[in-house]
Amino acid sequence: MVAALNTNQNAVQMVTYIGNHIDDFLIEYKKKSESSFVNYRSSLNKVFKDLIRKNEFKYISKEDIENLNVSVLKDYFNGLYDELNKDDEPKYKNATINRHISVIKELIRYLKNWDIITYDLDKLNLLKSLPDKREEIEMIPFDLAMQYVEYFSKDDQGLEKSLIIKLAIETGLRASELLRVEWSNFTEVEDGVIMKSHGYNKGKGNKEWIDKISKDLYNELLQLKTIGNNTKLFTLTYKQLVDIMERGDKLWNHTDINYTFHSFKKLAVTMCYLNNGNCIDSAMKKARHSNVNTTMRYLRLTNLNVTGIISAKMNTSEELYKTASHELLLECLEEMRPEMLLLLNNKIKNKASTSDYL
């Protein structure tokens, strides 16, 4: 509809409100999927509120949309990418920003194709989507993870840096969760120490988390009290954790894989899966996932360098290890990946505690 808007006492500017056309755009998606409709409406509300300072579609004008040129949109989405939350952690996921980009581009194309606005659609191609970081994050190998622990223990705030990495490998907690852990989250029990969320220190999606660590690891953590960390375990920032991973990549990474702090979580989940007889339920609980498909992405076999297993089995006797000499067996074991040896040692330890083998 068309409405008159007084700009000063002597002039009247005609403003074309196009809220009904925006509603039509959204209705087309509602016909296809209710969830798409909700997500698209949410994205438009976000962009309009931030850039146009209007909360209702009915007050959005033709001129408002035309003023959202590519330069304005590019600066806005770069700002969302750089924005950090109170934990110095990225506030928005790349997937969320990409959805906002996609929705506003589709709306502009829709309005232009219906001759509702004037806009250079070719310029929209300059608005690029961000990479999906979730798919880029790989599990860090156990031996490399321990290199991080050793190297950064000698760094400034080395005790905190080495122990936060150890706790990440052990628990699979995210960086933001670990940075909030307090001594009140720990409860000693007979066979270990329980870690449990409470108050504001919950997990992603405001979920409770619980884990259990050994008393030996807890005693290592208690060293943090000797440097004055009497409430929270860590005084590090998210930016410092990012710096650790970037420096580690430069020091040891000779591949195209860029590990992030989340790579330690993937290691924790994978080791839990293997250490519990390939139990997906155990891995899902360790990861605190509500969707098993998310856990399955963590457990991609390519992360474990397992390929061609059928061919390997056909060409190798299943009884070979039984006939190998003790010296050869030890030599082969020493060349296996550290996480595999850890699983073997745990199996030996468990067997020994319930039998007369040792």
Among candidates 242, 249, 231, which has minimal Cα distance to 185?
231
pLDDT band per the 50, 70, 90 thresholds, residue 124: very high
Dist CA 73 CA 220 (whole Å):
49
35-39, 225-229, 232-236: segment of lowest average pLDDT:
35-39
Name the nearest CA neighbour of 180 among 232, 230, 223. Answer: 232
* Paired strand residues for 6: 12
pTM for the structure as a whole: 0.56
Cα distance between residue 263 and residue 254, in whole Å: 16
Condensed to tens digits (0 to 9), the pLDDT of residues 14-30 reads 789 999 999 999 998 88
Mean pLDDT of the chain: 83
Q: How far is residue 311's CA from residue 24's CA, in Å, rounded to a whole number?
A: 57
> Residue 155's pLDDT band (boundaries 50, 70, 90)?
very high
- Of 89-93, 133-137, 166-170, 319-323, the range with the lowest mean pLDDT is 133-137
CA separation, residue 114 to residues 27, 32, 101 (Å): 15, 20, 20
Assess whether pLDDT exceeds 90 at residue 112: yes
In SS3 terms, the chain reads as CEEEEECCCCCEEEEEECHHHHHHHHHHHHHHCHHHHHHHHHHHHHHHHHHHCCCCHHHCEHHHHHCCCHHHHHHHHHHHHHCECCCCCECCCHHHHHHHHHHHHHHHHHHHHCCCCCCCHHHHHHCCCCCCHHHHCCCCCHHHHHHHHHHHCCCCCHHHHHHHHHHHHHHCCCHHHHCCCEHHHEEEECCEEEEECCCCCCCHHHCCCEEEECHHHHHHHHHHHHHCCCCECCCCCHHHHHHHHHHHHHHHCCCCCCCCCHHHHHHHHHHHHHHCCCCHHHHHHHHCCCCHHHHHHHCCHHHHCCCCHHHHHHCCCCCHHHHCCHHHHHHHHHCCCHHHHHHHHHHHHHHHHCCCCC
In this prediction, residue 332 has a pLDDT band, given cuts at 50, 70 and 90, of confident
Residues of the chain with pLDDT > 70: what percent?
85
d(CA 36, CA 55): 20
d(CA 214, CA 73): 51
Looking at residues 34-42, what average pLDDT do you find?
Answer: 84
